[in-house]
């Protein structure tokens, strides 16, 4: 692609955004890193006065969605006004399931726009067990209590999501457009995933305890998780428990020409990096 204009990476200090920005810079693309903490390019979804400075002069953008609903139509209108040509938007697997309208609202706004867009729809991050939302509970109590029953999920390494995003943004003619489901190569029940983690690390990774949705909501509320987030996570967990997430998506291979990282590989890489 022509490199006369910058590629904007929102959430550039986050899990995927940092990797996307680093990858593009290694390929000699000019990257504008934006986040709430950025001194050079501050961007805050909830402060629309920060949007224009981040967007003006860029040709493409990597979009990481906010944790609450915002006026996506206004943001997309700004992209159009500023001449942005292409967007890679990180949304969610089965975007309507959470019920919070964030992913659905973003996909609708971008789909109605002249800005050509790809919607990355990944399964749950494999790193949730090592550094993310499950890790804290495991480290504190040795038990992961969730209302997922025996349901399985094809956990994906977020490095694969970032690799797909950076690859698409670097294409001369970005493709594919529209939804792009992404997953790991194999589904695991949560109890199985913990056994994999224990096998890889050689230590006790903790045990899994299935609980009811009501129990989980009560515990999450006591832990201070906002009510709207509790509801959306509950919907996602129920979807897993009913087997709705137990399928493999080939998006990583379609874009990168390789298989996604396996769950053991993700855990092994984390163990090696922290040992």
Question: Is the pLDDT at 37 greater than 60, yes or no?
Answer: yes
> Of all residues in the chain, what percent are helix, strand and coil, respectively (each to 5)?
45, 20, 40
Residues 24 and 250: their CA atoms lie apart, in Å, by 23
Q: Note the pLDDT tens digit of each residue in 201-226.
A: 887 778 999 999 999 999 999 999 99
Whole-Å CA distances, 21 to 56, 173, 198: 18, 19, 32
CATH of domain 6-123+157-182+247-260: 3.40.50.720
| Residues in CB range of 69: below 8 A, 6 or more apart | 100, 101, 102, 105
Q: In this structure, how many other beta carbons lie within 10 angstroms of the beta carbon of residue 196?
A: 21
Q: Decide: helix, strand or coil at residue 15.
A: helix
Question: Is the pLDDT at 232 greater than 80, yes or no?
Answer: yes
Question: Is the pLDDT at 44 greater than 50, yes or no?
Answer: yes
Least confident residue range of 112-121, 134-143, 182-191, 242-251:
134-143
Question: Is the pLDDT at 271 greater than 70, yes or no?
Answer: yes
Which residue in this structure is represented by tokens 């979009």?
63
Question: Is the pLDDT at 6 greater than 60, yes or no?
Answer: yes
Percent of the chain residues past pLDDT 90, beyond the cut: 90
User: pLDDT value at position 202?
Assistant: 82
Mean pLDDT calculated for residue range 187-212 = 92
Question: Is the pLDDT at 109 greater than 60, yes or no?
Answer: yes
Q: Note the pLDDT tens digit of each residue in 82-101.
A: 999 999 999 999 999 999 99
User: pLDDT value at position 1?
Assistant: 46
Percent of the chain residues past pLDDT 70, beyond the cut: 98
User: pLDDT value at position 4?
Assistant: 52
User: pLDDT value at position 2?
Assistant: 44
For the chain, the domains span 6-123+157-182+247-260
User: pLDDT value at position 31?
Assistant: 97
Q: Note the pLDDT tens digit of each residue in 70-86.
A: 999 999 999 999 999 99
User: pLDDT value at position 176?
Assistant: 63
Question: Is the pLDDT at 164 greater than 80, yes or no?
Answer: yes
Q: Which is higher by pLDDT, 176 or 239? A: 239
Question: Is the pLDDT at 196 greater than 50, yes or no?
Answer: yes
Question: Is the pLDDT at 274 greater than 90, yes or no?
Answer: no
Mean pLDDT calculated for residue range 4-18 = 92
* Length of the chain measured in residues: 275
Closest CA to 84 of 93, 92, 94, 75: 75
User: pLDDT value at position 206?
Assistant: 87
User: pLDDT value at position 219?
Assistant: 93
Mean pLDDT taken over the chain: 94
Residues 11 and 132: their CA atoms lie apart, in Å, by 16
Question: Is the pLDDT at 267 greater than 90, yes or no?
Answer: yes
Phi-psi region of 214 (alpha: psi -120 to 50; beta: other; left: phi over 0): alpha
């Amino acid at each position: 692609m022509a490199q006369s204009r910058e590629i904007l990476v929102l959430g550039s200090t986050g899990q995927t955004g940092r990797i996307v920005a680093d990858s593009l810079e290694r390929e000699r693309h000019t990257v504008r890193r934006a986040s709430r903490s950025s001194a050079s390019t501050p961007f805050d979804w909830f402060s629309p006065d920060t949007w224009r400075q981040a967007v003006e002069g860029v040709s493409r953008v990597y979009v990481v969605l906010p944790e609450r609903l915002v006026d996506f139509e206004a943001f997309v209108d700004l992209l159009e006004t500023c001449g942005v040509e292409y967007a890679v938007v990180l949304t969610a697997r089965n975007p309507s399931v959470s019920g919070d309208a964030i992913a659905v609202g973003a996909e609708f706004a971008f789909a109605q726009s002249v800005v050509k867009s790809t919607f990355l729809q990944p399964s749950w991050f494999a790193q949730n067990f090592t550094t993310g939302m499950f890790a804290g509970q495991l480290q504190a109590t040795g038990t992961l209590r969730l209302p997922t029953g025996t349901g399985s999920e094809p956990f994906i390494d977020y490095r694969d999501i970032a690799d797909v995003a950076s690859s698409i943004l670097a294409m001369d003619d970005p493709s594919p457009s529209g939804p792009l489901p992404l997953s790991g190569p194999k589904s695991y029940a949560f109890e199985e995933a913990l056994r994999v983690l224990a096998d890889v690390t050689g230590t006790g990774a903790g045990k899994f305890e299935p609980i009811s949705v009501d129990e989980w909501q009560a515990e999450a509320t006591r832990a201070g998780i906002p009510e709207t987030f509790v509801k959306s996570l509950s919907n996602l967990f129920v979807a897993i428990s009913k087997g709705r997430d137990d399928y493999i998506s080939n998006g990583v291979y379609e874009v990168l020409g390789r298989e996604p990282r396996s769950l053991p590989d993700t855990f092994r890489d984390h163990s090696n990096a922290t040992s």
